Copies of this chain bind each other. A is one copy, B any other.
Amino acid sequence: MGARLHSTDQVIKGLAEVFREHGFQGASLAHISKATGLGKGSLYHAFPGGKDDMAAAVLADIDAWFESHVFAPLNDADVPASKSIDHMLDACVDYFHGGGRVCLVGVFALSDTRDSFEDTVNGYFHRWADALSAALRRSGHSRALARSMTEDVLAGIQGGLVIARAFDDNGYFEREIKRLRARLKAC
């Protein structure tokens, strides 16, 4: 039973949990009501647009977290690039619970839900890529190499999450992060 946590933030956390577990289509209002502790009436009062509004709110929450915890440090010229990159990988391990939590943006990217949230999904990965590329350029890499490494790292993170979940093995994700860290240092 949802432990009646009705602050806006807690509701969004509950929503995120349901969408991550069941995907957009599988997240029924019955599941959502149970996870948030709110009845349908309350949910539609808070999110007049229904599930679409709820998912948009969750995505905006995720986006804001990554913006402040990951993208901003990467873009900050006052932070040493190597430090902000290390911090990015630490933040990923934390955020994705060492591989036990899927990336909702990635899940949406793979589903037909993608069409409804195309700009948000696109923007999330785009800003991540731009920020990491900027940090890599600050650490002396060419534009082309920075871009290539960035693409490789984003794929490694998302793929690590997919396979960690397929194997139900968080270690898989953590080893992938370790490999990415080494590769980013070595270049």
Contact = CB atoms under 8 A, between A and B. Distances in A.
A126 B169 CA distance: 12
Copies of this chain held together in the complex: 2
B106 A166 contact: yes
A22 B25 CA distance: 9
B163 A162 contact: no
B152 A112 contact: no
Interface residues of A, number: 41
B159 A175 contact: no
A80 interface: no
Contacts of A158: 158-159, 162-163
Contacts of A155: 155-156, 159-160, 162-163, 172, 176
B165 A109 contact: yes
Contacts of A126: 167
Contacts of A109: 162-163, 165-166
Interface of A: 21-23, 25-26, 102, 105-107, 109-112, 114, 118, 121-122, 124-126, 148, 151-152, 154-163, 165-168, 172, 175-176, 179
Which 6 residue pairs of A and B lie closest in terms of their CB atoms, listed nearest first?
A159-B159, A155-B159, A109-B166, A158-B159, A158-B162, A25-B25
